[in-house]
Structure 1
Amino acid sequence: MTSHTWNLFWGSSFVRTPLRNGVGRYVQQLQRVTFKFCKTHGGSQGMREFIEKDLVDFAKVNPGVVVYLKPRRHRSPCLKAEYLNGEEEYISAHNLSSSDIKKWVEYLRMRSGNPVERLRKYQHTDHPSIQGPWTPWTHRDPEINVTEFPSEKLSAAHVTEKTATEQVIELFEKQKIASGSNTS
């Protein structure tokens, strides 16, 4: 499959987060989960076990998620998840065990609701710099490019100016000494 065909079929996007989620507080994106199952069909056995044993614990841990149980006669079981952004996701639970359904419910709980797409890049900015990306070598002396290593000049320790904190501490020490000699 060519990349053009892949893009037409799956689409691609940049990394994004829903509504700047996590700035200030976290808002869970999963709003509703509907468990659709048959009360007698053998393919719904795992779903019924999950409902009997684990559903109450899930509801206690996630009070912001509304849980619906929808029994349907002679139909295959499925999970329907509805997210804050309006997206819905269906997962077939036919012949799945209780532990498999627990894993799928956890997967649905952790999702953002955005569609699964191929990422164009692992980083993205809405306001790119016209100067290009910053690197550690951006403001270095170009002399480094033609220097033969090891170099005595570049191996020497850098002498830096005193920091503002060091200057304030030095002034404080001078004042302390001056005030000590005035009181004597």
Structure 2
Amino acid sequence: MSNTHLFLPSGFIRAPLQNGLGRYVPQLQRITLKFCKNHGGSRGVREFIESDLMNFAKANPGTVVYLKPRRHRSPVMVAEYLNGEREYLSCQEFNRDEVLKWLSYMCTRSGIPVMRFRKYQHTDYPTIQGVWNPFTHQAPEMNLAEYPHETLSKPADVTVTATEQLLEIFKRTQIKDTTDGKSEN
């Protein structure tokens, strides 16, 4: 286990409630691209603005895009979300593909800061069994089998059906009730 989680702020999950139940509401409210018209570090942002900005704006009609040219400053992307959070990202020496990838990343985020999630319960003695998953108790021969496999594809050999088992349980309870009634008389 790494220790990178020690430097992250911790908290509980604060997801936008029921977002996507009726319709999905994008959480990115506005994005501001700050760049220099001359500086070489802003070349990727300028290329993105010239070639891909209109397509991005058409694909994300719920997001306002602002362009802010600044002289002799490194390029910055500022994302503002519906929950009031702001996220700054330096775009120094990015190419236009990286700018597009980071913009799409910002569009899919909820605006909640990256944090280490805490649980509502805590124990001093964690489980020694390990984490369960659906493949925990699978047969080991399934790991090396090539499908379709003759023996693994056959249904289990069942001599008594579930209906017959239920009828048998019902008969036993009736016999038990009748014997209990006779012993009371």
TM-score by length of 1: 0.63
Structure 1 residues 13 and 157 mapped into 2: Cα distance closer, same or farther (>3 Å)? farther
- Distance in 2 separating the partners of 1:2 and 1:98: 33
Structure 1 residues 2 and 77 mapped into 2: Cα distance closer, same or farther (>3 Å)? closer
Secondary structure, counterpart of 2:58 in structure 1: helix
Q: Show the 5 A alignment for 1:52-71.
A: 52-71=50-69
How far residue 155 of structure 1 moved from its aligned partner, in angstroms, is 6.5
How many corresponding residue pairs?
Answer: 130
Q: Which runs of 4+ in 1 moved over 4 A?
A: none
Q: Show the 5 A alignment for 1:160-171.
A: none
Does 1:113 find its partner at 2:111? Answer: yes
How far residue 90 of structure 1 moved from its aligned partner, in angstroms, is 0.5
How far residue 14 of structure 1 moved from its aligned partner, in angstroms, is 4.1
How far residue 117 of structure 1 moved from its aligned partner, in angstroms, is 1.2
Secondary structure, counterpart of 1:105 in structure 2: helix
* Matched AA of 1:74: H
Partner of 1:99: 97
* Matched AA of 2:33: F
Secondary structure, counterpart of 2:67 in structure 1: strand
Counterpart selection for 2:19 from 10, 17, 21: 21
How far residue 119 of structure 1 moved from its aligned partner, in angstroms, is 2.8
Q: Show the 5 A alignment for 1:1-184.
A: 6=5, 9-120=7-118, 156-159=160-163
How far residue 118 of structure 1 moved from its aligned partner, in angstroms, is 1.8
Question: Over aligned residue pairs, what C-alpha RMSD do you find?
Answer: 2.8
How far residue 43 of structure 1 moved from its aligned partner, in angstroms, is 0.4
* Matched AA of 1:62: N
Structure 1 residues 155 and 91 mapped into 2: Cα distance closer, same or farther (>3 Å)? farther
* Matched AA of 1:94: Q
TM-score by length of 2: 0.62
Contiguous gaps of at least 5 residues in structure 1: 125-153, 162-184
